[in-house]
Amino acid sequence: MKDDDENCVIKLPVKFKARAPDERTLVSPWEVLKHVECDHLMATYIINEREADVECGRCGTRLNPMWVLKELATSDRRYAQMKESAKQASERRADRVRCKCQHCGKMTRIRGL
C-alpha cells in the first residue's frame, strides 16, 4: 500500500455502542417495557400455574386463560398452514428439476437447481 492511499482515507466521527457486560442477562422481568396500548398479541405470556392466571409480558394485564389458549392455538394453526404450503412449494419446485430440450427433445437437468 502506498503512502498516498493512506492519506486519502478520511476517518468518520463514528461512536460505537459499548458492549453489554457478559454477566448481564438479556431480558430481566424489570426490563420488560410496559406498553400503554397493548393488544396482547404476539406477546410473552407469564403463567402462574398455582392461581391459573396469565399475565401479558408487555403490559402486565391479567388475561383470560381461555383467550390466551385460543390465540396460541390460532398462531399454531397458522404456523402449520405456512409449513404445509412451504412443503408443497418445495415439492412443486423439485418436480421442475428437468425439462425437455428444444434442440434434441431429450429431458435435461435444469442448471442451478
Predicted confidence (pLDDT) per residue in 33-45, tens digit: 555 577 787 778 8
Predicted confidence (pLDDT) per residue in 36-89, tens digit: 577 787 778 888 888 888 998 888 889 899 988 898 899 899 999 999 999 998
What is residue 77's predicted lDDT score, i.e. its pLDDT?
92
pTM for the predicted model, two decimal places: 0.49
User: Residue 1 pLDDT > 60, yes or no?
Assistant: no
> Taking the CA of residue 98 as centre, how many other CA atoms within 13 Å lie in the half-sphere pointing to its CB?
6
What is residue 6's predicted lDDT score, i.e. its pLDDT?
66
Contact 54, 63 (CB under 8 A): yes
What is residue 29's predicted lDDT score, i.e. its pLDDT?
54
Largest Cα–Cα separation, the chain? 74
Domain ranges for the chain: 28-74
User: Residue 28 pLDDT > 60, yes or no?
Assistant: no
